[in-house]
Amino acid sequence: MEDLKSLIREVPDFPKPGILFYDITTLLKDATGWRAVVERMRAHYEASGAEVVAGIEARGFIFAPVLAYALGTGFVPVRKPKKLPAAVSRVEYDLEYGTDALEIHRDAVQPGQKVLIVDDVLATGGTAAAAARLIESLGGTVAGLGFVIELDALKGRGKLNGRTVHALLHY
């Protein structure tokens, strides 16, 4: 996995002082690295039974649809507020300062459907936990939460309450 880490650019103090930002654009533009990421995620989730892949806006939209295609499932977007045109379910979650929200179309997931949630980075886990709550509010089952990168020190897994979490790379 160290080969993939070498393709991820680490940008200090972005978007604000003290944050070390893991920039995946340098991985995406590398044909071999990009293919390896998708293939490793596909192999990990091949036997998961996932019936649909949900991606979290914005960088989850890069990985989730490609993984859905590779697994032969559909793709569902989990979006920032007021982007989706039809009836939505909404969940609010706490940020360091204030709150944010995510929305999903109410008909995006069927009761009992097994949903794989995908994003680029698992940091504090607030975003992924909100996405999981959204899926479950529609009656879906979270088959797994998949990330390219997990920032272990931030203990995001702890917010995911024992749901199945996997990341390709750990920092």
Q: Give the interface segment with ligand AMP, choosing from 33-41, 68-76, 107-115, 118-126 (CB under 6 A).
A: 118-126
Q: Give the interface segment with ligand AMP, choosing from 13-21, 31-39, 61-69, 73-81 (CB under 6 A).
A: 13-21
- Residues 151-170 as x/- pattern, contact with ligand AMP by CB under 6 A: -----x--------------
Reduced to 3 states, what is the DSSP secondary structure of residue 141?
strand
What angle (nearest 5°) sits at the alpha carbon of residue 117, between those of residues 111 and 119? 155
Q: Is 146 in the site for ligand AMP (CB under 6 A)?
A: no
Tell me, yes or no, if 79 is annotated catalytic.
no
- Shortest spacing between CB 33 and ligand AMP, in angstroms: 17
DSSP codes of every residue in 42-85? HHHHTTS---EEEEETTTHHHHHHHHHHHHT-EEEEEB-TT---
- Shortest spacing between CB 72 and ligand AMP, in angstroms: 25
Q: Is 103 in the site for ligand AMP (CB under 6 A)?
A: no
Which residue, 113 or 127, is less far from ligand AMP as judged by CB?
Answer: 127
C-beta neighbour count of 5 within 10 angstroms? 15
Contact, 61 vs 118, CB < 8 A? no
Tell me, yes or no, if 96 is annotated catalytic.
yes
- Shortest spacing between CB 114 and ligand AMP, in angstroms: 22
- Shortest spacing between CB 7 and ligand AMP, in angstroms: 14
Contact, 121 vs 58, CB < 8 A? no
In sign, the C-alpha dihedral spanning 24, 26, 28, 33 is negative
Q: What does the alpha-carbon distance between residue 91 and residue 46 come to, in Å, rounded to a whole number? A: 29
Of residues 40, 42, 57, 59, which has the active-site annotation?
Answer: 59
Binding residues (CB under 6 A) for ligand AMP: these are 19-22, 56, 59, 119-128, 156
By annotation, the residues acting in catalysis are 59, 96
